[in-house]
Chain A
């Protein structure tokens, strides 16, 4: 244990090393460490934000899907209603047409029958007149008796 001038040498070396460390070693290393810590913190925050965004997007997608489903159901419902409406309308129209056609047929038949009746009546009248002429021969002047014939015809 002998103290000597070595002490001063070591003191100088100590001061130099501490100074060098303080100036050129500590700040860059600490800076890098702190920067990396910040980077990692930022990265973690970003991933958390991403996760939240994803969750939000998923919720939104679910909502939209639900809405679309409701809309689709509405459209189908409407289409069904419209379909049955069209069927109803068509049925009604067809029914109407049938009625019309039937009514028309009836009217035609009626007209035909009337005409036939008229023809028959005329023919019966002519036949009756002819018959009467035959029976009465010239006794009866056709022209003079035509009013009687007309009356007969009207009675038929």
Chain B
């Protein structure tokens, strides 16, 4: 957070960047920055797509409509090639996840100090205080680097997995999948149950930690470059941003793809 007065240490700088703006105590803490940025970006997604949906016509599409349709068709194709049941939920869910996560990941490309310094200035702290590392205003702008964000997404997906499993296979079918698989002999049911429960729980856990880990690491490297390299950070930032630009849409796509795959596994009889 802060080093000795008038001088900012690297660890303080990094620590400052990795601290959320929080309200509340203990478990009932709310990360205001994560919530605000994710909701703002979600609204950007919802409203910009809603603008197209309202005016959508079968005639010649405008440029923005063509762009939105491109994304929608891409998601629709992906869903159709993976999920073979009929569901009005899966495709919009996949679209929301893809665009929302993509927008949140893209926040990573905004230079790491811009928004935190802006927040500090708005909070009334002088530039001297900020430069000295004495700022007590925290602002973490990439919501997907907050494990609460990614866990919320994967828990939503997990709930849907269980819902679809029970809806399509019944409670019995769902439970049977847990204990009668992969070894369909009664004296190994306990073993199956442990195995399948672990693999079931591992799905949302790996889903959220993969996204969190990738984005957290990417953000951390940006902060490290910004905090240690002085003026040399500019070309290095560019190089890392170019590389990270691959990771940003890739992680959004992987999250969407795995969601579809998990839900399609949940909807199929084995």
Contacts and interface: CB of A to CB of B under 8 A. Distances in A.
Contact of B68 (A2, A7, A29, A31): A29
Contact of B56 (A5, A7, A31): A31
A2 B30 CA distance: 11
A33 to B, nearest CB: 6
Nearest to B43: A17
B34 A10 contact: yes
B164 interface: no
A22 B88 contact: yes
B52 A29 contact: yes
Contacts of A13: 35, 38-39, 42, 152
Nearest to B89: A22
Interface stretch (B93-101, B165-173, B194-202, B240-248): B93-101
Contact of A6 (B29, B45, B46, B73): B29
A29 to B, nearest CB: 5
Contacts of A144: none
Interface in B135-158: 143, 146-149, 151-153, 155-156
A36 B100 CA distance: 27
Given A13-B38, A17-B46, A22 B57 contact: no
A73 to B, nearest CB: 54
A35 B24 CA distance: 51
Interface string B34-62: 11001100100110011011101111010
B46 A20 contact: yes
Interface size range of chain A in the complex: 20 to 34
B91 interface: yes
A29 B72 contact: yes
B28 interface: yes
B149 A6 contact: yes
A74 interface: no
Tell me the interface secondary structure of chain A in the complex.
Answer: helix
B29 A5 contact: yes
A33 B147 contact: no
A29 B30 contact: no
A142 to B, nearest CB: 138
Interface in A5-25: 5-11, 13-18, 20-22, 24-25
Contacts of B88: 22
A17 B43 CA distance: 8
Contacts of A27: 53
B237 interface: no
Interface in A35-72: 35-36, 38-39
Given A17-B96, A21-B49, A26-B95, A4 B58 contact: no
Closest 8 CB pairs of A and B: A10-B152, A32-B56, A35-B58, A6-B148, A22-B92, A28-B53, A26-B92, A36-B58
Interface of B: 20, 24, 26-31, 34-35, 38-39, 42, 45-46, 49-50, 52-54, 56-59, 61, 65, 68-69, 72-73, 76, 88-89, 91-93, 95-96, 100, 143, 146-149, 151-153, 155-156
21 contacts: A2-B29, A3-B147, A3-B148, A4-B31, A5-B29, A7-B155, A9-B152, A10-B152, A18-B92, A18-B156, A21-B93, A22-B89, A25-B92, A25-B95, A26-B92, A28-B54, A30-B76, A30-B91, A32-B57, A32-B69, A35-B58
Interface of A: 1-11, 13-18, 20-22, 24-33, 35-36, 38-39
